[in-house]
Amino acid sequence: MGTIVVELNPQEAPLTVNNFLQYVDEGHYDGTIFHEIHADSAVIGGTHTNDFEKKAVRVPVRNEAHNGLKNVRGAIAMAGVPGVIDSATSGFFINLADNSHLDHQDETPEGYGYCVFGKVVEGMDVADRIGKVKTHDTQDKGGKPLERVPVEPVLIRSVRLMR
């Protein structure tokens, strides 16, 4: 569908950027898919392969959602388990719209939010196209239900660091 270029923000989210770059260096994201599409809201990827096998991950990174960065259109943030503060591993999402309900609200598990650690600087049109693909509900290799999965897989061919 095209190339998406993101600029990371290590000043505001140092642990999260380091975590993401470790996965990049390991080649973790190569061959994964955008496995969950929230039309006109966000696209989520980085955890499953093309055949819906969940990839092995490291321990979760500490949530830095309190860093002041917001889940606005074009922001890239870590995906985690709703209601579990420090649950993000390799999953990430690109905001297709302003999603203030995903921002840090308070210190409770429900209000802690999702850590923004960068922004799309090229290819937002690609992210928008991904957000419009046809989806269905299915399950991963372990039988866990997956919702809003693209009917035709949206493959992440590679993620690499540009200097």
User: What are the boundaries of each domain within the chain?
Assistant: 5-156
**How many angstroms separate the CA atoms of 64 and 114, rounded?**
8
The residue that leads in pLDDT, 144 or 38, is 38
pTM score, whole prediction: 0.95
From 3.90.1150.10, 3.40.190.10, 2.60.120.590, 2.40.100.10, which CATH number describes the 5-156 domain?
Answer: 2.40.100.10
CA angle 61, 66, 67 (to 5 degrees): 90
Neighbouring CB atoms inside 10 A of 11's CB total 8
Rounded Cα distance between 123 and 132, Å, is 15
Other C-beta atoms closer than 10 Å to the C-beta of 91 total 23
3-state secondary structure of 105: coil
Residues 51-105 have pLDDT tens digits of: 889 999 999 999 999 999 999 999 999 999 999 999 999 999 999 999 999 999 9
How do residues 14-37 score in pLDDT, each as one tens digit?
Answer: 999 999 999 999 999 999 999 999
If phi > 0 it is left, if psi is from -120 to 50 it is alpha, else beta; for residue 83 that is left
